[in-house]
Structure formats: structure tokens, C-alpha cells
Amino acid sequence: MEALSQYGSPPVEQASAIWAGLVASYSAQRIEFVGTLLVQVLSFWLPSIAYLFLDAIAPGFSQRHKIQPTPKQPTRTDIVHCFLVVTRNQILSSVLHLSLIYIAGKAGASSSYRVTATLPPPAEFARDFAICLLLREAMFYYSHRLLHVPYFYRRIHKTHHKFTAPIALAAQFAHPLEQIFANALPISLPPQLLQSHILTFWVFLTWELLNTATVHSGYDFFRNQAKKHDLHHEKFNLNYGSIGLLDWVHGTDKLGKRRSE
């Protein structure tokens, strides 16, 4: 830990020393659970709350970027109900995460991911992040389309579509089964299968949570990404994916236009 006290050490060396200290001080299971929970708070809960209060913080900016008009926006009662459901889903995800950590421990693994004192090599990080992005797209796209089959839509996915003008918190406003199989597992499973470094998983998780909060926010800042998902909530039959790759492949990227599958 001497590296921490060396004034002027390069940022990467400082980060490496801090990380090595954490790994030396805490168990891999504790690092995985607490760190993942902290990432969820910082990259989903705080941005979602900020989007929710954007009208009050910067009303002019809010009105310029709001996608749907005020009459279509959810009521205060809707927002409170959303908060309670998302809190329940957060607890459900955390309990599931603790269960997976326990199972991994019983199987002799110290963590669901790779927790080492060294930072992941840049090439490995880039490779795993890219593969996770593609695997998540596939898992989310096909599970999402399955949830739009009438049988599953009525019983499960209709909950999420209560918000035809979504807000950021509504990204996780979902039936418990959808929360597990369409929201949580497509993000957590790919880096587990790859045995990715825990830091790679946290960066990937941060990306996905910020993205889902933003596209559900009701505001469009980034090249119509939020508008695309907003249209999904309004029309129900297009833009099922996250990055748009499989929507392009299957022709579900435009209203009234479908390629053969």
C-alpha cells in the first residue's frame, strides 16, 4: 500500500494500489455483493431520481428534450407505485445475487466473477465487454419478444407496459419473473460465463443501467435512442432490443416494416 502515499503516482497505479488493498482487506464475496449494490445505486437509482426531478431542476431544458407531452405523463400516484415496485425488484435481485454467491461458495468458488488483486488487462477488458454486449443483446431481445407473445404479455409483461410514457425508474417496473429472466440475467450471466474480472462486470453493469435509465427517462439527448424505446412503449410492436442490432436483423426496427425471419 506504499504506492498510495507516493505523491504524483499515475492514476492507473493509484487505482491499482487501491484495488489491491480492497482485495487484501475483504473477501471476494463481500466485494462482489457490496460493490454490485453500490454500482446499482450510482448508475440506476441516482440517475433515475435525477431524471424524475429534471422538470423542477431545469424546467426549460426539460421541456426542450421531453419526448411526450405533459398530459401523457404518469401521475404522482403512478410514480410512487413505480418506486415501490422497483424497490421490491431491487430486493429480489439482491436476494438472488446473495443466493448465487452462496451457491458458488458451496461449489468451491470464491466469487461468481474473477476477483484478483490486479486490474483486468485492457485487451481482455475490451474483448469481454464487447462479447457481453452482444450476448446481452441476444438474451434481452429474444426474451423480450417472447414476453410479447399474448399468453406471456397478459400474465407478465403487461405490468411493464403500464407506462406508455415511461420514466427512468420504470426500466425495472416489472413482474418478478421478468425482473429475473429479462432484466437481471441477461446482464449478469454473460460475464459469469466468460469468468470476467469483477471490474469488467461492474463497468458493463454501469453501462447497461445508465442506458436503460436513459432510454426509459422520457427525455431524448443521444441520437434518438430514447425516442426508439419510447415508441416501443407507445406502439408495443417494434424496437425490442437494446443496441438495435437484432431489431435490424429481424426488421423490427421500423413500424409497418418487417423482414422475413
Examine the pLDDT at 90 and tell me if it is beyond 80: yes
Q: Which residue has the higher pLDDT, 61 or 131?
A: 131
Q: Please report, rounded to a whole number, the percentage of residues in the chain having pLDDT higher than 90.
A: 66
Examine the pLDDT at 255 and tell me if it is beyond 80: no
The predicted structure's pLDDT at residue 136: 98
Examine the pLDDT at 70 and tell me if it is beyond 80: no
Residues paired with 257 in a beta bridge: 254
Q: Which three cell numbers stand for residue 261?
A: 425471419
Rounded CA gap, 92 and 83, in Å?
Answer: 14
Per-residue pLDDT of 24-50, as tens digits, reads: 999 999 999 999 999 999 999 999 999
Judge whether 170 and 160 are in contact, CB under 8 Å.
yes
**Domain coordinates in residue numbering, the chain:** 27-250
State the chain's mean pLDDT as an integer: 89
Judge whether 211 and 221 are in contact, CB under 8 Å.
no
Q: Where are the alpha helices (DSSP H) in 2-149?
A: 11-25, 28-40, 46-52, 54-57, 59-65, 76-106, 122-147
Rounded CA gap, 127 and 122, in Å?
Answer: 9
Packed helices 122-147 and 198-215: angle between N→C axes, nearest 10 degrees: 40
